[in-house]
Structure 1
Amino acid sequence: MSKLSAQDIETKLLRFPDWEYFDDAIHAEFEFDNFRDCFSAMSRIAFECEALNHHPNWSNVYNVLTISLSTHDANGVTDKDFKLAEAIEAIVEPVDE
């Protein structure tokens, strides 16, 4: 998978308002009501990561989840990162039906 240009990344980020691009990665921070909800989201995200064979750099402090995505093999952001970001968004901010 090839590394995206900064312009391509910024264009793709228009669909992901919670994400920012810096340090050759896309980053987001999500706040939940409590630790349990945060950890539950992390568990669901972990299954998506395994399915996509793509794993984030992430950290959790109580109810806050911080995520950085980049494709190490490409030394930067690729479409693979945006595919995972889309899956993460669906988990942490589900659309009301």
Structure 2
Amino acid sequence: MERLNQSAIEARLSENPNWKLSDDKWIERKYRFKEYLNGVEFVQLVANLSEEANHHPFISIDYKLITVKITSWRAKGLTDLDFELAKKYDELYKKVNKN
């Protein structure tokens, strides 16, 4: 995948307002859950999806707060795949957070 330029990154971030640019090469989002185990369930779903895509984020579990950071190592920055997965992670969050 080809690395996105700054204007493309800004355009993609405007489509994904809950995601923030970090260190000019990562996008990051924090997900809050009512119950600890809902957050753990979300992490498992993110891990399964990421494994299928062979594109793995950094995931941090801080009790009921899950932080997901993603970048494309081979491209040395952000690609369309990062933003596609971010959107899918958001869909998983909506699914898990309904419970």
TM-score by shorter chain over 0.5? yes
- Seq. identity, %: 28
Secondary structure in 2 matching 1:74: coil
Q: Which residue of 2 aligns with 1:44?
A: 45
Matching of residue 33 in structure 1 with residue 34 in structure 2: yes
- For structure 2, the residue ranges without an aligned partner over 5 or more in a row are none
Q: Which residue of 1 aligns with 2:18?
A: 18
- For structure 1, the residue ranges without an aligned partner over 5 or more in a row are none
The 2-side partners of 1:68 and 1:45 are apart by 12
The 2-side partners of 1:57 and 1:6 are apart by 22
The 2-side partners of 1:28 and 1:90 are apart by 13
TM-align CA RMSD: 1.2
4+ residue segments displaced more than 4 Å:
none
The 2-side partners of 1:58 and 1:37 are apart by 15
TM-score by length of 1: 0.92
Q: Which residue of 1 aligns with 2:68?
A: 67
Q: Is the 8 A contact 2:43 2:59 kept in 1?
A: no
1:40-65 alpha-carbon deviations (Å, 9 max, x no partner): 01111111101111000110110000
Q: Which residue of 2 aligns with 1:7?
A: 7
The 2-side partners of 1:77 and 1:88 are apart by 16
The 1-side partners of 2:32 and 2:73 are apart by 26
The 2-side partners of 1:79 and 1:43 are apart by 23
Q: Which residue of 1 aligns with 2:81?
A: 80
Count of residue pairs brought into register by the alignment: 95
TM-score by length of 2: 0.90
